Every structure is written in C-alpha cells, then in structure tokens.
C-alpha cells in the first residue's frame, strides 16, 4: 500500500509543479474569434494574425494570478511588439462589465477580447487560469503555459525571443 | 458452499457496493473558465478569515487549545 502511495505521489507531483508543456508537434490554432470587450471594435480573428508571433492569454476578473500576469504581458508587448509579437488577452468572464472593471484597474497595452460562452477556452483545452498559448508566425501553437509565477518570467521571455528569432530565420 | 467461497462472495459484494456509491456521487468537474462563481468570497472555505483568525487567537490564548480548525483558500483553482 505504501508502495502505491509513493508511486502516486511521484507520478502526481510533476502535474502540480509543471507549468505546461512545450509541444513537440505544433498543432494548428483552433477556430476562435472572440468579441472585443469594447463592443465598438471588431472581433479579434486569431487567424488574421498569421505572420506575427502571438501570445494568447486567457484571463478572468476573478483570477488573482491573471492580474499579476498583466504587468508581464504589457512589458512583453511593449518590448517585442515592433519585432512582430502580438499579445491577445481573452477574458472568460460571464459579464463584460466585470472584464471592463478589471481593465480599468489593470490596463492592458495589448488587444483584449471576451468569450463569455467559453467556445475559445473549450477549443484550446484550457485547464487552468490563467493559461497562455504561444503561437508561431504560421499559426501553430508552440507552447502552453499554465498559471503565472514570477520565477517563470525569464524563461517565458526567452521562449518569445527564440520564436521571434526563429521566425526571422525562416522557421523550422 | 465452502467458507472461502462465501468470503470471496462477500468481498465481491462489498466492492460492488463501493463502486455503486462512486457511480451515484454527484461530483462533476468544473472547467477552469467557469470557476468565477466558485471564486466569490462567500464560496471560500472560511468566508471571514480575519475574524476567524482573531477568534482562534482568543481561543488558543484562553483555552490553551490548538488552532487549525479551518481550511484556507477558495474555489477558483487558479494557479
């Protein structure tokens, strides 16, 4: 019995600790065109961003780590936007007013959208909040990151830079 | 029927009962993006942590009792 308990702990611990996988095969972006939080703006079609490196971040107003992540995402957009990075934040709030209040408190320097119905997170297979999907210029998902931890920032920044350089060199 | 067979049957019956109980449970997984209601303050295991901490402090001071009668955290499951 003790053996099975130990085996379970050994197998389950990485699931709790690992932030998310770097994908060996790069799956194509699932269909997703969330509405803009600002109702006047046109919907964000992720497939139209082909040609740019895209970081898609699923967030919610009720998710505390999502608020912490916004500082990092703003910095990424400001630093690498000119080199071809677009950060897209997709809120999963049921009520757009909650998302708007959140954005007033934590302004975003990147486009934000909302998917109250949950089609996008369902299509992406979101398993945690926040979840980020790094997408290459061909519209393929390269890396999934679950949660936000300050300790992961350097590695995530490096992954974005690597993808920007890779794309400039012609991809793989 | 031997005693061994009776024992095996009884065990099988027990296992079947446990499996039936599991099948009857009302638990369902909530997708990560639908945990907004679970993240509301009133859904926390301890909705008033400050008041609870004060009560526990008073209790442990007066009664010399150990605290730790409550859990921490809410239900958003955020990483």
Give pLDDT tens digits for B17-67.
Answer: 888 887 777 777 899 999 998 888 888 887 788 888 888 878 777 766 555
Q: Tell me: ipTM over 0.90.
A: no
Unique residue bearing structure tokens 């998902």: A141
Please check the confidence at residue B4 and state whether its pLDDT lies above 50.
yes
Closest CA to A137 of A157, A114, A167: A167
Task: Give the number of C-alpha atoms closer than 13 A to the C-alpha of residue A85, restricted to the C-beta side.
Answer: 26
Establish if B2 belongs to a structural domain: no
Q: Tell me which chain A residue has its CA closest to the CA of residue B39.
A: A62
Is B45 domain-assigned?
yes
Dihedral sign from CA coordinates of B28, A56, A34, A45: negative
Phi, psi for residue A143 in degrees, rounded to 5: -150, 140
Q: Is the residue at A13 inside a domain?
A: no
Q: Is residue B58 part of a domain?
A: yes
Structural domain for B53, as ranges = 39-64
- In-domain check, residue A107: yes
pLDDT of A80: 97
Q: How far is A1 from chain B (nearest CA, A)?
A: 17
Phi, psi of B11, rounded to the nearest 5 degrees:
-65, -40
Q: CB distance A148–B40 less than 8 Å?
A: no
C-alpha–C-alpha distance, residues B49 and B71, integer Å: 10
In a domain, residue A8? The reply is no
Shortest CA distance from B38: residue in chain A? A62
Residue B55 domain-assigned?
yes
Task: Give the per-residue pLDDT at A20.
Answer: 66
- pLDDT reported for residue A128: 94
Q: Per the structure, how many domains does chain A have?
A: 1
Handedness of CA B58, B59, B63, B69 (dihedral sign): negative
pLDDT at A102: 96
Q: What is the pLDDT of residue B75?
A: 60
Inside any domain, residue B32: no
The predicted pLDDT at position A99 comes to 95
CATH label of the domain that carries residue A113: 3.40.30.10
What gap in Å lies between CA A46 and CA A30, rounded to an integer?
9
Looking at residue A111, what is its pLDDT? 93
Inter-chain contact B77–A128, Cβ cutoff 8 Å? yes
Distance CA B24, CA B45 (A): 25
Q: Domain range for residue A26? A: 20-168
Is B46 a domain residue?
yes
Residue A118 in tokens? 């949950």
Q: What is the pLDDT of residue A16?
A: 47
Q: Which of A19, A61, A118 sits opposite B34 (nearest CB)?
A: A118
Contact B17, B55 (CB under 8 A): no
**Residue at B59 is within a domain:** yes
3-state secondary structure of B2: coil
**Structural domain tally of chain B?**
1
**pLDDT in tens for each of the 172 residues of chain A?**
454 555 444 444 444 445 567 777 888 889 888 998 877 777 788 888 999 999 999 999 999 999 999 999 999 999 999 999 999 999 999 999 999 999 999 999 999 999 999 999 999 999 999 999 999 999 999 999 999 999 999 999 999 999 999 855 554 4
Residue A3 lies in a domain: no
Measured between beta carbons, the chain A residues lying within 8 angstroms of B35 are 62, 129
In-domain check, residue B44: yes
């Amino acid at each position: 019995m003790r053996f099975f308990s130990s085996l379970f702990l050994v197998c389950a611990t990485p699931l709790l600790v690992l932030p998310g996988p770097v994908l060996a095969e790069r799956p194509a972006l699932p269909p997703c065109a969330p509405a803009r939080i600002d109702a006047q703006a046109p919907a964000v079609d992720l497939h139209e961003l082909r040609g740019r490196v895209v970081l898609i971040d699923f967030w919610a107003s009720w998710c505390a780590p999502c608020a912490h992540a916004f500082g990092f995402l703003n910095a990424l957009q400001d630093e690498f936007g000119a080199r071809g990075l677009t950060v897209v934040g997709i809120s999963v709030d049921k009520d757009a007013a909650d998302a708007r209040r959140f954005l007033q408190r934590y302004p975003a320097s990147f486009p934000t959208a909302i998917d109250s119905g949950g089609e996008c997170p369902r299509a992406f297979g979101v398993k945690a909040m926040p979840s980020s999907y790094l997408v290459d210029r061909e519209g393929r998902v390269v890396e999934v990151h679950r949660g936000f931890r300050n300790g992961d920032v350097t590695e995530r920044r490096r992954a974005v830079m690597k993808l920007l350089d890779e794309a400039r060199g012609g991809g793989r | 029927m031997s005693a061994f067979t009776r024992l095996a049957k009884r065990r099988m019956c027990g296992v079947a009962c446990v499996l039936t109980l599991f099948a009857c449970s009302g638990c369902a997984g909530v997708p990560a993006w639908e945990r907004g209601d679970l993240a509301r303050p009133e859904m926390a295991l301890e909705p008033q942590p400050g008041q609870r901490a004060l009560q526990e402090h008073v209790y442990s001071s007066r009664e010399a009792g150990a605290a730790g009668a409550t859990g921490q955290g809410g239900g958003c499951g955020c990483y």
